[in-house]
Structure 1
Amino acid sequence: MNARRLASPPHTSGLVGSSAATCRLRAEIARAAPFASNVLITGPSGAGKELVAREVHALSARAGGPFVPVDCASLVGELMASQLFGHVAGAFTGANCDAVGCFQAANGGTLFLDEIGEMELPLQAKLLRVVQERVVTPVGSYAGRPIDVRIVAATNRNLLREVREGRFREDLYYRLHVVHLQASALRDRPDDIPALAATFLQQLAGEGLPCCTLSLEAIAALMAYAWPGNVRQLRNVLEQSVIEAAEPTITGRSIERLLEEEQYYDEPLTDESAKELAAALPSPPLLPPLPASPAWMTLAELEREHLVRTLELTYFNRAAAARLLGISRQALLRKIERHGLA
């Protein structure tokens, strides 16, 4: 009997929505994915850039290989170099054995460099060499190892502005910016919101939360909101609404109340409102003075100290802390994670 090769099922797009922006993005991904060229994805935080990267990988010839995501904002210096390029035993304190870096782990597949604009300049130079030569050298070694990796990078920054201001290497920018994909802000594609909301509610039900639907008034309220936190914020609001819902159908009033709270915390904090917020907070415990340090405090240490004091002042109310610091809650959460304060 002749063996028959079973046809693989058609790929189902992970991009949800039917707006003009989403349809255009799907077409651009389908056109660029089959090639091995590097891809740069731009767009605001929470707009789904990693989902776009996974779609590029899924539609490429490398779909059977690994997809390895790396958060460039979470690690710095030698630790980041080790994570990207690997290291050999004895390369630095604590390196007790050889380690395979993300480049080698992604061999034959796709390496996704998220928040590439946060990468330090010295590390950018090392990355450029790997991108150019397709050879990775582990930390502490002189022996290069050939790799076959497609790089997909993402950023919420304007990298050309970063290049002009000396914070990003121009040569690396052009190596990564071969194919450009733009993830649009959610406020620019409100037609996608009903489909996204239905998908998120289904996912939440699969995670053990109550199975809920949205009323027409609730959908209208979601579509009228500006969504500064984009798709990530939409999922967060829906999760809150499901937890608080007394009935299987989420009402418009419930959504409006949650969005009013979101809008309050997304407003910029003026000097006057900062004073009012600080005055409204309960008196915090007496904070200890800054410890005397024999060396000059680094910027990272100073930021961590200020974060700790702000969180203590607000009794670890992250929304209030973000307002006092003049940053978004998403930015605050990233900083908390980066400094190990979670």
Structure 2
Amino acid sequence: MANNSKRRDYSQGEWPVKAIVGRSYWTRQIRETIERIAPHTSSVLITGPSGTGKELIARSIHDQSPRATGPFIPVDCASVPGSLFASQLFGHTKGAFTGAVGASLGSFRAASGGTIFLDEVGELDLELQAKLLRVIQQRQVVPVGGHDPEPIDVRIIAATNRDLAAEVKAGRFRLDLFYRLDVISIETKALQDRREDIAPLAEFFIEQVSREQGVPPKRLSPAAVRAIESFDWPGNVRQLQNILERSIVLSEGEEIDADFIPQEIAAAAQPDLQPTGDTISTPNHQVNTPAAATNAEGYPADWQSLEDNERLHLQRTLELTGFNQSAAARLLNIDYRLLLRRIKKYGLKPAGGAGGNGNRPRVAAAHGG
């Protein structure tokens, strides 16, 4: 969950344990675990599916710790180009390279006295893993262009949606770095495995989004609640938040009915009413589409081009991942940089038009990251 565009439900930057919303056994255990490990300085590795609240857990650990008054510095390892990795994490001196018009502390020194959160650490290549390991072992950094080591005083919390033990066996992740990071382990769970949390999360998000939109809080109808509790949420909490925000904007009145929930989600509560045929869904009814016009060759005149299909598929994938571009690239099985070029080409943006940068607005864990 690593950028400033992320939605923060606690405006003063405080993330108490009660910010982990939900009533499932897993959520209760996570809150207890955070309270137990927060006072210590040991490294923490948070694993689990994308969109399940890894950054919220990291922030909560930080804010319950003696380092709470220090900075919390998130780094999205998946979006840092290899050529800039050392500069961004370890800093650089003035004139160290073209464009270095001033010195930079880098993320590790910027986090001095606080916590550094290495998100998507499993995406680092072996060369960058070696550089990170050296810093963790020596507890000092050498800025790019410099010669003198600078001591660092940080707690390290890392996160990944990969199985790092399996990555080690496959030779894609260093065993020594894994041991350094995996001192304390926390595993998040997909939303479909803790359905008891869906309704409390929905209530939380509706209140949060309504406050941001400057509108009175709305409530979900019983039918809408049944729908969201029946859906599997492959995009986890981020997807839930995205859908609820859309529903708040589109619905009228004080109640959000199932008609304002996307059809594939509403249908989850009614398996016999899955979308079929050539129909167009509107909030209140369906209309049959007219017969498609044909071109001179007898083919449908409105047949979508390959480019149209690519744009639509990219948009749907980004919405599914809550505009988490790293997760979208993995889901599409394409290079992260290629995805960025396609996003720029088609002018794709998150709901509301906010820019996305590697990771779309992260949501709160039990809200999301």
TM-score by length of 2: 0.72
Higher relative contact order (CA closer than 8 Å, sequence separation 6+): 2
Q: Is the 8 A contact 2:228 2:266 kept in 1?
A: no
Aligned ranges 1:74-153 → 2 under 5 Å: 74-153=79-158
- CA 1:260/1:224 → structure 2, altered by over 3 Å: closer, same or farther? closer
| Counterpart position of 2:237 | 231
Alpha-carbon distance change, 67 to 328 in structure 1, aligned in 2, over 3 angstroms: closer
Q: 1:144 to 1:73 in 2, by over 3 A?
A: same
- Which of structure 1's runs of 4+ aligned residues deviate more than 6 A? none
- Distance in 1 between the 2:90 and 2:267 partners? 44
Match of 2:28 in 1: 23
Measure the CA separation in 2 of the matches of 1:197 and 1:237. 10
Query: Cα 1:21–1:31, aligned 2, differ >3 Å: closer, same or farther?
Result: same
**Aligned twin of 1:314:** 309
Asked whether the equivalents of residues 248 and 256 of structure 2 are also in contact (C-alpha less than 8 Å), the reply is: yes
1:289-324, Cα deviation, whole Å (9 max, x unpaired):
xxxxxxxxxxxxxxxxxxxxx7x443732446759x
What is the Cα deviation at residue 332 of structure 1? 3.3
Secondary structure of 2:79's match? Answer: coil
- How far has the Cα of 1:256 moved from its partner? 5.5
The offset of 1:261, in angstroms, is 9.1
Q: CA deviation at 1:99?
A: 0.8
Q: Which runs of 5+ in 2 are unaligned?
A: 1-13, 269-299, 331-335, 348-369
Summarize the Cα distance change of 1:215–1:50 in structure 2 as closer, same or farther, 3 Å threshold. same
Offset at residue 117 of structure 1 (A): 0.4
Which residue pairs with 2:173 in the alignment?
A: 168
Instruction: Answer yes or no: is 1:203 the counterpart of 2:208.
Output: yes
Q: How many residues align?
A: 290
Match of 1:43 among 25, 44, 48: 48
In structure 1, what is the Cα distance between the partners aligned to 2:232 and 2:195?
9
- CA-to-aligned-CA distance 1:241-287 (integer Å, 9 cap, x gap): 1121122201123326262699xxxxxxxxxxxxxxxx997454xxx
Using a 3 Å threshold, how does the CA distance of structure 1 residues 144 and 170 change in structure 2: closer, same or farther? same
**Is residue 84–residue 102 contact of structure 1 (8 Å, CA) maintained in 2?**
yes
Distance 2:56 2:172 in 1: 27
Residue 40 of structure 1 aligns to a residue whose secondary structure is strand
Secondary structure of the corresponding residue to residue 19 of structure 2 = coil
Q: Deviations over 1:200-226 (max 9, x none)?
A: 001111111643111122111111111
Structure 1 residue 46, shift from structure 2 partner: 0.4
Residues 1:221 and 2:227 are matched in the alignment: yes
Aligned partner of residue 45 in structure 2, secondary structure: strand
The answer as to 2:332 corresponding to 1:332 is: no
Partner Cα distance (1:320, 1:46) in 2: 17
Question: Is the Cα–Cα contact under 8 Å of residues 186 and 231 in structure 1 kept in the other structure?
Answer: yes
1 CA distance for matches of 2:119 and 2:26? Answer: 22
Instruction: Classify the secondary structure of the residue corresponding to 1:132.
Output: helix
User: How far, CA to CA, are the matches of 1:22 and 1:72 in structure 2?
Assistant: 27
Quick check: 1:212–1:249 contact (8 Å CA) kept in 2? yes
**Is 2:259 the partner of 1:253?**
yes
Deviation digits for residues 178-232 of structure 1 (CA, Å, limit 9, x no counterpart): 0001111111111111111011001111111643111122111111111111100
Residue in structure 2 matched with residue 288 of structure 1 by the alignment: none
Gaps of 5+ in 1: 1-8, 263-278, 285-309
Any conservation in 1 of the 2:72–2:111 contact (CA below 8 Å)?
yes
SS of equivalent residue, structure 2 residue 18 = coil
What is the match of residue 306 of structure 1?
none
Change (3 A) 1:281 1:177: farther
Task: Give the TM-score taking structure 1 as reference length.
Answer: 0.77
Q: 1 or 2, which has the higher helix percentage?
A: 1
What's the offset of the Cα at 1:128? Answer: 0.4
In structure 2, relative to structure 1, the CA distance for the partners of 1:200 and 1:321 (3 Å cut) is closer
CA distance in 1, matches of 2:21, 2:322: 26
